[in-house]
């Protein structure tokens, strides 16, 4: 079935230079195994194609069942220089949770 | 019996709740109160304030707070560590000493930590071979002419520890790391010298540094957070056996759960296995968190490593001017009319001979912050049109600010919500992160007792 990522994970984002970071945290071990497989840097870059102008890096934080993403060049110049509304990437975490993904029909969801 | 201390952080950033430090101080037992006032842009603002008035250049909110609690502070023995000194730690201390004298609080020791401000040393550092190259682009700071507004080193935590060791009731610093404000009391109390211990105190500081963001603020499942209005600010309970628990005062709002703490652990994170501070390198992939009670989260297994031979410098320089202005456009056809408004503004500015280095337009309500993720709400009943410009020429940016209001009478119908006057040009304070050899930076600690 097709569900929003928010059924499997929660997230927080903030600024990191001229980019943002998103910490994506799965609710269960199964959920972590799944996001680790399908939420690739390429998938995140495509999802944020209108927002992120640079590359996407991904780091694994298995102890927290989490992935940390860096979205380079995604703040319109960064913190103090930018004139865009979300110059600190505060909304990027929720933006990622809106991604729709396929999960097995019997998958445990929040 | 283990010995433990409670460290509360009552201020997450410049502009955070003015009542939070008082509620944290009065709302239950704490041994230390920390407060973070300095964002990257704050130092340049404070340098400007100091230039206009040599008695300014520090966080005045802090002095007002201390003035309120001073007699009680000394009575309860709560000690304060705050980076409220900005670019003028001495003036900040002088005001607090006056307050102590006025309120007959005797024996109060106030420390300042200085040495972070290297604005006056830049030429000397250049001559000594420091390029202060931009950490991301590699460009040398001195390779082009720049109007530098502030330059501050993120100092290690050791001088703050020294100040507490010398009996300071209040420690006022300029630029230090945010986690350092919490790490300082931890190291003063327990004298940990192993990297894991230093990393543990650093992680405590990282979890606390954004105030209520670890107690239910900015939490994904916001509907689960009780009494957000009365949200408690975070407290780290640190024990001499290496225990670390994140909690908050009983009876306050918000919540401390593994989920609220996990979100904050990853906040503003770069490489998780290599979180660099002046005091150590923390491996965030080592940490375990567990719920040990209601609003109590235990943090264990923190691993640390030796720090790098360099310190980070935060430099800010003037990079032109910017302005933004906004209007509300009602339906019918709100989006089409807002788009016309934007076109009219740019056309009129072009007729006045103004071209800009950069222009920006947003249609808030249609789907701006999640553009490309959610479908555009093309039939939104109303739209906030937000326009922005950047340019090296201040006059042109001010000219832009005069072109918003006329739309109310000389644009399409239904344009309203123009309030707050004409937008004015603001300086663009650009940020230049660099590294410096830590041997070229000396921190000074001075402790003064009131009445002496």
pLDDT in tens, chain A (110 residues): 999 999 999 999 999 888 999 999 999 999 999 999 999 999 999 999 999 999 999 999 999 999 999 999 999 887 678 899 999 999 999 999 999 999 999 888 88
Asked if residues B373 and B308 have their Cβ atoms less than 8 Å apart, the reply is no
Helix/strand/coil (H/E/C) assignment for every residue in chain A:
CEEEHHHCEEEEEEEECCEEEEEEEECCHHHHHHHHHHCCHHHHHHHCCCCCCCCEEEEEEHHHCEEEEEECCCCCCCCCCCCCCCCCCCCHHHHHHCCEEECCCCCCCC
Q: Are residues B258 and B337 in the same domain?
A: no
B415/A5 Cα distance (integer angstroms): 38
Q: Are residues B299 and B249 in the same domain?
A: yes
Instruction: Select the residue from B221, B291, B360, B373 to test the A interface by mutation, using most A Cβ atoms within 10 A.
Output: B373
Helices (H), B209-333: 258-265
Q: Are residues B286 and B173 in the same domain?
A: yes
Q: Are residues B160 and B73 in the same domain?
A: yes
> Is position B446 within any domain?
no
Helices (H), B255-402: 258-265, 334-351, 394-401
Q: Are residues B375 and B262 in the same domain?
A: no
CB atoms under 10 Å from CB of B239, counted, come to 14
Domain that holds residue B183: 4-116+154-308
Residues whose CB falls within 8 Å of the CB of residue A14, separated by 6 or more in sequence, listed in order = A20, A21, A88, A89, A90, B267, B268
> Is position B450 within any domain?
no
Structurally, chain B folds into a number of domains equal to 2
pTM score: 0.96
Question: Could you say which residues from 9 to 28 on chain A have a Cβ atom under 8 Å away from some Cβ of chain B?
Answer: 10-12, 14-18, 21, 23, 25
Residue by residue, pLDDT tens for chain B (452 residues) are 689 999 999 999 888 999 999 999 999 999 999 999 988 778 888 988 998 999 999 999 999 999 999 999 989 999 999 999 999 999 999 999 999 999 999 999 999 999 999 999 999 999 999 999 999 899 999 999 999 999 999 999 999 999 999 999 999 999 999 999 999 999 999 999 999 999 999 999 999 999 999 999 999 999 999 999 999 999 999 999 999 999 999 999 999 999 999 999 999 999 999 999 999 999 999 999 999 999 999 999 999 999 999 999 999 999 999 999 999 999 999 999 999 999 999 999 999 999 999 999 999 999 999 999 999 999 999 999 999 999 999 999 999 999 999 999 999 999 998 877 899 999 998 889 999 999 999 999 999 998 75
3-state secondary structure of B276: strand
Distance from the Cα of B134 to chain A's closest Cα (Å) equals 12
Contact B369 A66 (CB under 8 A): no
> Is position B20 within any domain?
yes
Domain A2-102: which topology?
Answer: Alpha-Beta Plaits (3.30.70)
Last residue of a domain, one of B241, B276, B308: B308
Asked if residues A68 and B272 have their Cβ atoms less than 8 Å apart, the reply is yes
Q: Which of A23, A50, A60 sits opposite B371 (nearest CB)?
A: A50
Measured at the CA of B190, the angle between CA B176 and CA B29, to 5 degrees, comes to: 80
Q: Are residues B357 and B262 in the same domain?
A: no
> Is position B61 within any domain?
yes
Q: Are residues B174 and B232 in the same domain?
A: yes
Q: Which of A10, A49, A84 sits opposite B263 (nearest CB)?
A: A10
B24/B5 Cα distance (integer angstroms): 15
> Is position B135 within any domain?
no
Last residue of a domain, one of B289, B308, B327: B308
Contact B324 A10 (CB under 8 A): no
How many whole angstroms from its chain centre is CA B386?
A: 26
Instruction: Select the residue from B269, B316, B426 to test the A interface by mutation, using most A Cβ atoms within 10 A.
Output: B269
Asked if residues B28 and B7 have their Cβ atoms less than 8 Å apart, the reply is no
Q: How many CB pairs under 8 A join A and B?
A: 126
Residues whose CB falls within 8 Å of the CB of residue B150, separated by 6 or more in sequence, listed in order = B43, B44, B46, B47, B87, B117, B119, B314, B315, B316
Residue spans per domain, chain A: 2-102
In chain B, residues with a C-beta closer than 8 Å to the C-beta of A11 are 220, 263
Asked if residues A32 and B278 have their Cβ atoms less than 8 Å apart, the reply is no
- The token pair that represents B266 in the structure block: 């990853």
B314/B298 Cα distance (integer angstroms): 33
A23/A11 Cα distance (integer angstroms): 5
In chain A, residues with a C-beta closer than 8 Å to the C-beta of B136 are 17-18
Q: Are residues B323 and B302 in the same domain?
A: no
A43 has a chain B CB within 8 A of its CB: no
Alpha-carbon separation of residue B80 from A104, B14, B84, B162, B164 (angstroms): 53, 17, 11, 14, 10
Q: Provide ipTM, 2 decimals.
A: 0.98
Last residue of a domain, one of B283, B308, B333: B308
- Residue given tokens 């703490």 in the structure block: B261
> Is position B372 within any domain?
yes
Q: Are residues B347 and B387 in the same domain?
A: yes
A93 has a chain B CB within 8 A of its CB: yes
Q: Which helix (H) or strand (E) holds B45?
A: helix B42-52
Contact B371 A63 (CB under 8 A): no
Q: Are residues B285 and B360 in the same domain?
A: no
A48 has a chain B CB within 8 A of its CB: yes
Neighbouring C-alpha atoms within 13 Å toward the C-beta of B126: 9
Contact B322 A81 (CB under 8 A): yes
> Is position B447 within any domain?
no
Instruction: Select the residue from A83, A87, A90, A99 to test the B interface by mutation, using most B Cβ atoms within 10 A.
Output: A83
CB atoms under 10 Å from CB of B409, counted, come to 7
Q: Are residues B171 and B50 in the same domain?
A: yes
Q: Is the peptide bond before A89 cis (omega within 30 degrees of 0)?
A: no
């Amino acid at each position: 079935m097709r569900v929003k990522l928010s059924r499997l994970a929660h997230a927080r984002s903030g600024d990191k230079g001229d980019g943002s970071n998103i910490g994506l945290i799965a609710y269960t071990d199964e959920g972590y195994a799944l996001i680790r497989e399908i939420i690739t840097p390429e998938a995140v870059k495509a999802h944020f194609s209108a927002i992120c102008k640079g590359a996407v890096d991904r780091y694994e934080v298995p102890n927290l069942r989490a992935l940390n993403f860096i979205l380079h060049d995604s703040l319109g110049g960064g913190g103090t220089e930018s004139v865009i509304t979300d110059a600190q990437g505060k909304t990027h975490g929720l933006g990622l949770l809106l991604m729709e993904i396929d999960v097995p029909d019997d998958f445990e969801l929040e | 019996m283990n010995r433990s201390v409670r460290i509360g952080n009552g201020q997450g950033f410049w502009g955070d709740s003015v009542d939070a430090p008082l509620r944290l101080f009065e709302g239950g037992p704490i041994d230390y109160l920390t407060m973070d006032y300095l964002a990257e842009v704050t130092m340049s603002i404070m340098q400007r304030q100091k230039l206009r008035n040599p008695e300014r250049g520090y966080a005045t909110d802090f002095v007002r707070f201390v003035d309120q609690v001073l007699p009680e502070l000394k009575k309860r023995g709560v000690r304060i560590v705050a980076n409220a000194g900005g670019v003028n730690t001495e003036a900040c201390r002088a005001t607090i000493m006056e307050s102590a004298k006025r309120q007959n609080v005797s024996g109060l020791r106030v420390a300042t930590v200085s040495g972070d401000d290297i604005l006056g040393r830049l030429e000397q550092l250049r001559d000594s071979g420091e390029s202060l190259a931009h950490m991301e682009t590699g460009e040398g700071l001195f390779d082009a002419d720049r109007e530098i507004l502030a330059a501050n080193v993120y100092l290690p935590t050791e001088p703050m520890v020294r100040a507490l060791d010398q009996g300071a009731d209040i420690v006022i610093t300029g630029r230090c790391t945010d986690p350092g404000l919490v790490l300082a009391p931890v190291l003063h109390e327990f004298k940990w010298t192993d990297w894991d211990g230093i990393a543990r105190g650093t992680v405590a500081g990282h979890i606390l540094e954004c105030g209520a963001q670890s107690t239910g603020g900015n939490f994904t499942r916001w509907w689960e957070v009780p009494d957000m209005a009365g949200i408690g600010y975070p407290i780290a309970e640190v024990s001499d056996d290496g225990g670390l628990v994140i909690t908050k005062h009983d009876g306050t709002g918000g919540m401390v759960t593994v989920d609220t703490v996990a979100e904050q652990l990853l906040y503003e994170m770069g490489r998780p296995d290599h979180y660099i501070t002046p005091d150590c390198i923390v491996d965030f992939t080592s940490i375990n968190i567990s719920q040990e009670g209601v609003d109590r989260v235990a943090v264990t297994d923190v691993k640390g490593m030796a720090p790098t031979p360099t310190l980070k410098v935060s430099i800010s320089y003037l990079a032109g001017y910017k302005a933004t202005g906004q209007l509300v456009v009602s339906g019918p056809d709100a989006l089409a009319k807002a788009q016309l408004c934007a076109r009219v503004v740019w056309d009129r500015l072009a007729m006045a001979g103004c071209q800009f280095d950069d222009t920006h337009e947003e249609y808030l309500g249609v789907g701006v912050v999640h553009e490309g993720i959610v479908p555009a709400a093309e039939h939104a009943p109303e739209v906030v049109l937000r326009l922005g410009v950047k340019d090296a020429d201040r006059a042109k940016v001010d000219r832009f600010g005069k072109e918003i209001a006329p739309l109310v009478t000389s644009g399409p119908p239904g344009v309203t919500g123009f309030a707050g006057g004409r937008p004015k040009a603001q300086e663009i304070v650009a940020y230049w992160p660099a590294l410096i050899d830590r041997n070229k930076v000396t921190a000074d600690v001075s402790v003064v007792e009131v009445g002496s």
